[in-house]
Amino acid sequence: MIVYDETRPGKEDPDLVSLLKRRRNPLLSETGLRKVLEELTMKMSENILLYACAYPRENVRNLKEITAADWEKTDIVLGSDNEKYLPVFTTVEKLHAFFPSLNPEAVIYMLNKKDILTYLNLNENTAAAVVNPTVDDLLLYRVNLTNLIQVEQDMYSRN
């Protein structure tokens, strides 16, 4: 994972935004929802970067690229099921909307699916990552991430 650089802001993927929005449509039929979820799965199989904030260990605080093992701690959200979730966001703006006043010690990182899976595997008490909590609430469990990573690898090995 790499440190977010404000001089090169990431752009929100309009296809991902549309799929997440369509997924929340209460009028969607079962068939329509299945189609949206299939499209969302394929979109999430691409090389998607998400944003999270964490507190790196002192010895890596100035590095631009670290691993999940280098996080000393991170803010976790507690779900209505009393499970712990790692909040990740599709944009930095959504991260700031959720965490309006970040601790000055917090660092914003750009993570791919492997980074998130590594974090979850190192932190067994965290059930999953949640994309855009309280808005999209898309849960990425270990098995989902493993499958998405495999699909991504398969897609790139064919090309």
Q: Cβ distance 89 to 116 under 8 Å?
A: no
Q: Cβ distance 58 to 139 under 8 Å?
A: no
What band does 155 get if pLDDT is binned at 50, 70 and 90?
confident
CATH class, range 2-158: alpha beta
* Model pLDDT, residue 63: 92
H/E run at residue 58: none
Q: Cβ distance 17 to 48 under 8 Å?
A: no
Q: Answer yes or no: is pLDDT of 109 > 70.
A: yes
Residue 22 in tokens? 């369509």
Q: Answer yes or no: is pLDDT of 156 > 80.
A: no
Angstrom distance (rounded) from CA 117 to CA 129: 9
Q: Cβ distance 139 to 85 under 8 Å?
A: yes
pLDDT in tens, 58-84: 999 999 999 999 999 999 999 999 999
Q: Answer yes or no: is pLDDT of 18 > 80.
A: yes
